[in-house]
Amino acid sequence: MLLRHTNKDIKERKALNVNPAKTCQPIGAMYASLGIHGCLPHSHGSQGCCAYHRSALTRHYREPVMAATSSFTEGSSVFGGQANLIQAIDNIFTTYDPDIIAVHTTCLSETIGDDVNQITIKAVKDGKVPKGKYVIHASTPSYVGSHVTGFSNMTKAMVMHFAKSTGKPNGKYNIIPGYVEPSDMTEIKRIVEKLGIKPILFPDTSNVLNGPQTGRYSMFPEGGVTIDELKSSGDSMGTIALGSLASADAARSLDSKWRVPCQVQDLPIGLAATDRFVNALRIAAGVSVPDEITRERGQLLDIITDMHQYFYGKKVALSGDPDHLISLTEFLVSIDMAPVHIVTGTSGKDFEKRIQDITSHLPYKVNVKAGGDMFTLHQWIKNEPVDLLIANTYGKYIARDDDIPFIRYGFPILDRIGHSYFPSVCYRGGIRLLEKILDALMDRLDRDAPEEKFELVM
């Protein structure tokens, strides 16, 4: 009901966000950590923080997300959490026996200034880390950045802690997939392997957060990049980072540390971005694109042709992660839809510039804001209504208030099931995405059609 009081009078707000279009860094760090085989994420802070992070991921993926916590008390908050973390490391290896603990910080531990690097070194010296086991860490305060930033920081930590170079090329290519669904990671690996390239994809949450139901619980599922693969990433022929915000830092660290050449690309969502990704792989492998991939591209092109008349000129509002929105905007523009309002909760002027470049030739103004919130998006929609809203679950309130067709996309999706099994990247994912868009538009057309125009065939 409160949304019905959203007004059209837009005022600049610097000290207040209303319904932020993001969540906090530790959630992204925890998600990245789950992409390492045999890893137990560890939240260095209070129990409440860890419970929220686990809950957010569990509700999105419908899988039990395990993580440990330093369980700060008032004393820890005043005198520091070193004793808590060292005891936690000892308890975790003794009780759960993971291959690796991935520690991410929280607001509390960052504010009091805990030196997690020094603490983990002390834990090793004190014999709390068994031989052949590992502890890595990343700085992820919630009051800076977003879940995408936390994902990026933990992925970079994987490189800094593990990547080595033996001087002997391993014949593989590093692929950093960005903050995408497990199903997207599976699809990216499939495309890479179809072109004859052996990938080291990290992090890799496929078969971790979308694994099969076997009737038996496993704290450490079969999926995830292995520690040996992470170590070998310094011997790879090159790195392709998908998404500049979520993946670029790790790729550039590999380049600067071990001279593994990298290129940063947009997420392969839609025709043009997938073409660039496939072309980069083709050049890397020195091969022709297989007929199967060419066929999938042709199918996407065919369905775009079939659906184009229904997409033309439809206005769209979008909210989500910057890497997703850049590729989505390019895709929507390419099929002659009109993205007019675009908001991400993650700060960064580069995002705004990319969107402006993609839409600069359009004959209308595009509202775009980084570090924005969904209240701003709602106000924009009040001033200029749209035909479609694409956002995470929280967009449903705007969609209901303004009676807009709505597609759930991004993180988190809390009120629908299945997104972790169906990709939206590459050619196959593009086909599914177009089907969802057309279904939303045609369902609305059917709902509003008078009796004499309620057609059987569109």
pLDDT of residue 2: 55
Taken in order of first residue, the domains within the chain and their CATH numbers are 7-15+292-451 (3.40.50.1980), 25-162 (3.40.50.1980), 172-290 (3.40.50.1980)
For residue 43, report the phi and psi dihedrals to the nearest 5 degrees. Answer: -95, 115
pLDDT, tens only, 307-319:
999 999 999 999 9
Distance CA(329)–CA(346), nearest Å, equals: 16
pLDDT, tens only, 199-257:
999 999 999 999 999 999 899 999 999 999 999 999 999 999 999 999 999 999 999 99
Distance CA(22)–CA(245), nearest Å, equals: 14
For residue 3, pLDDT beyond 80: no
Yes or no: say if 254 and 174 are a contact pair by the CB < 8 Å rule. yes
* pTM for the whole structure: 0.96
One-letter amino acid for residue 355 of the chain: I
Averaged pLDDT score across all residues of the chain:
95
pLDDT, tens only, 346-391:
998 899 999 999 999 999 999 999 999 999 999 999 999 999 999 9
Question: Before 322, cis peptide (omega within 30)?
Answer: no
For residue 1, pLDDT beyond 50: no
pLDDT, tens only, 263-305:
999 999 999 999 999 999 999 989 999 999 999 999 999 999 9
For residue 458, pLDDT beyond 90: no
Per-residue pLDDT band for 13 (boundaries 50, 70, 90) equals confident
CA atoms within 13 A on the CB side of 349: 0
pLDDT, tens only, 187-214:
999 999 999 999 999 999 999 999 999 9
Give me Rg for the CA atoms of the chain. Answer: 23
Task: Provide the b/e sequence for 303-324 (b: ≥16 CB within 10 Å).
Answer: ebeebeeebeebbbbbbbbbbb
